[in-house]
Structure 1
């Protein structure tokens, strides 16, 4: 046993230089910034090292707070070969007075924490029956007047100095409101009418959806409490004791309508704080005609539920196509209420090359701290798009008149007339020879052309990265994903299959296929797939079989376009 302790001590001693070699962090935090007089709260101090012979200077706290408890713990973690150490002090503090009290910077070696402000409110006045009760309920709110959809922090506290069996507590349930629980109950001790109580405090964020007077009804606590004799004897029949039922106070809050100065054409959004940011994929973004680039816009707000965050504006321009994805939501419960996040991603596909302007994104919101209108913005951006629109040849090109003969190439009549006449026999011999030569040349060209086509085809199959095996595999994966209604896998393997089929490495999305193939049914089916991927179209409304049907005709479409191209070559050899 002694040897093990010695080995552990040596291990810790070896860790100490490693932890001190890194920059030391020493931080302070509290479990709440608002506490009633007579109630305690927790102050948590953390140092990124093993504190064996060092302690923070707690003397500065004692001027305004009593330290009821001080628990110290040490941790050593090894994650992926990285060693981290931490020492934590959990202090239970009791304020000495009401009002705004400041926990000053606390020293630890040459490090200091930041000051923390605590608001100590007056203790709630309980009715006379509660003065001597072993268990009672108390309720309060942080505001008595709010705007519609503004956050109200509601506190429900269970005071007890006796154990309660079979306990049941009703939580707030109010019409025309959105209610969010702010985590598990917070435990602390409190002095009340000369008695020390163990308190469990439950916190809720309430968002009224209608203006007018809001009534938060009393919550009810029921259970059984043991008598003084039952606490010290065994009861084989399981009698839990005297049943009790306790109620909290009724809370009234006045809810004001939306201010008249708020713009009428934007969503109403009251919050303590709000910010807007963006990210691109890939980073940095590279824009090309017909190729998607993903833009992710995130809205962060404090004091508003994530379910109440409005949709974000989407850029609107004739030079781009925008395909939104499903938005995502995230929220964290803090001491000041809900911190929410709404994230929206959408694919931007430029439709022309050159300089394109993305308009600014603006989110109007009402600052409930300053009672003023504010605007969060992402500024206007100019993007450079490479490539250009592909123009397909039309029938007018096929029917174009042949080039006119330059008059300079025709000999003047006087010159023609001045040529000596040729013997008729020799003329016919020359014509026959020329005709035979033309026929021989045509036959030779036709033979060489067939040989060339076969040779080129063999060379492509032998040397190109496009192969019949990949073509088959990608088509099987596409068919399987499409039948299973998996839009993202369908998009991936459809693009790979058509890229193999057309032998075009520039095809990386289903939308890019339309730059090479023209077919009404195929266009409709691809647009339907894009709507599911980027325009929030429900999956059950996706007609996946239409894409399968349209894809089965792609080879015929390619063949018809090749026939059209061959017609152009025959009429205009200079195009080949």
Structure 2
């Protein structure tokens, strides 16, 4: 006989069990729905990312042309847009389309497929002035507008002129370490073979060859083929900069009467006039103890791998600061410092210094990144970054500013405690009644295993970041793979530019490249071996100071003038000893 109280108790326990199973089924349905939503979002992410990255890009090969010149307009699409049906009305308002061609390519990287299409137009302006190519539209994407400055038609050459060669600069006055663009322009009305131009060599200046360009020009109905060789020149000291005359040589092409006819045409030589540039010193209003930056424009921006407002104690986020300067070399841009503070540590990565070209010359870029790891929860202030630079167009001091920000770091997620299994001692039930509990224990076991694995990965990540910091300090100025310099003069100019910009890391690498150019047989030449070969106490002293600045802790700015002066005094002796030779001709390749 069963006591009524026991019946009531068993009925209540059964009802509770039924309720818990119903809740479990409801939670399971909710969890499955959430997982379905997460999987759906995960599957849609590539499509969303593709639409976000889709872009229609348009660019011209030159922003300044003369009436009668041709220029190249390239239109690129990365989201499968059909460029064949593109509305070209914004182009045809002020330009005639002479020729068009199209290409397409498919790339597969790490299983990700990307397709790009390109439409190339050869166009010529209809009138003078500042002409605007409006945005080109394809579907939901559009390009940015482009501006082209069209000057008057060039002077009519003499009727018997066949080959013209001239030099011009974009400005007659420049600040020290600022950019001057030199253009050597060859115009030919006849076919030429074996074309070459003497190599540009300028004392007390760094010379950077830019991309060669070819186009057609019509003057009074007479067609000319034009080749342009451009250089970015950075004077290293104030005063007068002399650009020597440059010489072009070639042979006129003659029609061959047979395969065995090797007759050469007459030799043609043309020379430009020498040019003089006035190099201005730093203005008196420039602040002391700051890197001198004469530029057309300078910008600074930052990116975070994780939104800083979502950081938790013990987690890491990578902060990337990008500095971009128009009319500057990458080595001239100052490094970004990540000052540590109580409870907040930085693990800096190797900086990335690159250079690219635009219609206005060289564009330098420096990218500094560091892993930020807050040790404890709290509020932290990341200080602002303020970079003064001299606007060469306006002739005034300006500043690029990355504002300070406050970040609130939350505490790490609390570790759940294991529940006490008191229900196991109440009353044994049927195997079916205890199955949900067993399933719950299994899930909790896997949860604990996941937490333990996440903790282990966190420790491994911290150790890896610490190791990377040590390696970055050890190899701060030595990239993994360094291409050999073209010649000793090129390596020397790179070294002088790094010293002029007081860039310690770039100067160390440039010094190593210069040493290897002096001793080309020593492919694995190290800096210590180079010091031993030169055997100069002065050079050893300045190298020791350079490495102390790089590898010892301290915020003192390195001054490259001592290294530059030492290298200048040693260079004639080392060149004569090693027999470093220079290539004195630059070949012209039609494009």
Bin for the TM-score computed over the shorter chain:
0.5 to 0.7
Q: Secondary structure of the residue that 1:288 maps to in structure 2?
A: coil
Q: Are the aligned partners of 1:37 and 1:122 in contact in 2 as well (CA < 8 Å)?
A: yes
Q: Are the aligned partners of 1:57 and 1:108 in contact in 2 as well (CA < 8 Å)?
A: no
Measure, in 1, the Cα distance between the counterparts of 2:467 and 2:273: 56
1:488-503 paired onto structure 2 within 5 Å: none
Measure, in 1, the Cα distance between the counterparts of 2:446 and 2:83: 66
Do structure 1's residue 219 and structure 2's residue 246 form an aligned pair?
yes
Q: Relative to structure 1, is the Cα distance of residues 112 and 383 closer, same or farther in structure 2, using a 3 angstrom cutoff?
A: closer
Q: Mark the runs of 5 or more structure 2 residues left unpaired by the alignment.
A: 1-50, 413-444, 479-525, 528-591
Q: Secondary structure of the residue that 2:460 maps to in structure 1?
A: coil
Give CA-to-partner distance per residue, 1:108-145, whole Å, 9 cap, x none. Answer: 9999876543223456669x8x7633223111111111
Give CA-to-partner distance per residue, 1:388-443, whole Å, 9 cap, x none. Answer: 9xxxxxxxxxxxxxxxxxxxxxxxxxxxxxxxxxxxxxxxxxxxxxxxxxxxxxxx
CA RMSD of aligned residues (A): 4.6
Q: Secondary structure of the residue that 1:149 maps to in structure 2?
A: coil
Do structure 1's residue 134 and structure 2's residue 162 form an aligned pair?
yes
Q: Relative to structure 1, is the Cα distance of residues 368 and 295 closer, same or farther in structure 2, using a 3 angstrom cutoff?
A: same
Q: Are the aligned partners of 2:154 and 2:219 in contact in 1 as well (CA < 8 Å)?
A: no
Q: Are the aligned partners of 1:532 and 1:538 in contact in 2 as well (CA < 8 Å)?
A: no
Measure, in 1, the Cα distance between the counterparts of 2:407 and 2:141: 46
Q: Are the aligned partners of 1:323 and 1:534 in contact in 2 as well (CA < 8 Å)?
A: no
Aligned partner of 1:90 in structure 2 is 121
Measure, in 2, the Cα distance between the counterparts of 1:271 and 1:242: 45
Do structure 1's residue 100 and structure 2's residue 130 form an aligned pair?
yes
Measure, in 2, the Cα distance between the counterparts of 1:335 and 1:386: 48
Do structure 1's residue 286 and structure 2's residue 281 form an aligned pair?
no
TM-score (norm. length: structure 2): 0.55
Measure, in 1, the Cα distance between the counterparts of 2:304 and 2:144: 35
Do structure 1's residue 198 and structure 2's residue 137 form an aligned pair?
no
Do structure 1's residue 179 and structure 2's residue 118 form an aligned pair?
no
Measure, in 2, the Cα distance between the counterparts of 1:180 and 1:295: 32
CA shift, 1:34, in A, is 0.7
Q: Relative to structure 1, is the Cα distance of residues 220 and 529 closer, same or farther in structure 2, using a 3 angstrom cutoff?
A: same
Q: Are the aligned partners of 2:81 and 2:139 in contact in 1 as well (CA < 8 Å)?
A: no
Do structure 1's residue 33 and structure 2's residue 63 form an aligned pair?
yes
Q: Mark the runs of 5 or more structure 1 residues left unpaired by the alignment.
A: 1-21, 389-462, 466-498, 513-525, 542-576
Q: Are the aligned partners of 1:39 and 1:95 in contact in 2 as well (CA < 8 Å)?
A: no
Q: Secondary structure of the residue that 1:508 maps to in structure 2?
A: helix
Select 1:363's aligned residue among 376, 387, 391. 387
Q: Relative to structure 1, is the Cα distance of residues 383 and 34 closer, same or farther in structure 2, using a 3 angstrom cutoff?
A: same
Aligned partner of 2:263 in structure 1 is 239
Do structure 1's residue 532 and structure 2's residue 561 form an aligned pair?
no
Aligned partner of 2:93 in structure 1 is 61
Q: Are the aligned partners of 1:153 and 1:337 in contact in 2 as well (CA < 8 Å)?
A: yes
Q: Relative to structure 1, is the Cα distance of residues 387 and 506 closer, same or farther in structure 2, using a 3 angstrom cutoff?
A: farther
Measure, in 1, the Cα distance between the counterparts of 2:373 and 2:117: 49
Aligned partner of 1:158 in structure 2 is 186
1:502-541 paired onto structure 2 within 5 Å: 507-508=459-460, 530-534=469-473
Q: Are the aligned partners of 1:361 and 1:377 in contact in 2 as well (CA < 8 Å)?
A: yes
Aligned partner of 1:276 in structure 2 is 300
Aligned partner of 1:489 in structure 2 is none
CA shift, 1:337, in A, is 1.6
Measure, in 2, the Cα distance between the counterparts of 1:92 and 1:237: 39
Q: Relative to structure 1, is the Cα distance of residues 329 and 87 closer, same or farther in structure 2, using a 3 angstrom cutoff?
A: closer
CA shift, 1:231, in A, is 2.1
Do structure 1's residue 308 and structure 2's residue 332 form an aligned pair?
yes
Select 1:261's aligned residue among 276, 285, 293. 285
Q: Secondary structure of the residue that 2:328 maps to in structure 1?
A: coil
Q: Are the aligned partners of 1:74 and 1:87 in contact in 2 as well (CA < 8 Å)?
A: yes
CA shift, 1:361, in A, is 1.7
Q: Relative to structure 1, is the Cα distance of residues 287 and 369 closer, same or farther in structure 2, using a 3 angstrom cutoff?
A: farther
Q: Are the aligned partners of 1:187 and 1:199 in contact in 2 as well (CA < 8 Å)?
A: yes
Say which structure, 1 or 2, has more relative contact order (CA 8 Å, 6+ apart).
2
Q: Are the aligned partners of 1:57 and 1:107 in contact in 2 as well (CA < 8 Å)?
A: no
Q: Are the aligned partners of 1:332 and 1:339 in contact in 2 as well (CA < 8 Å)?
A: yes
| Number of aligned residues | 389
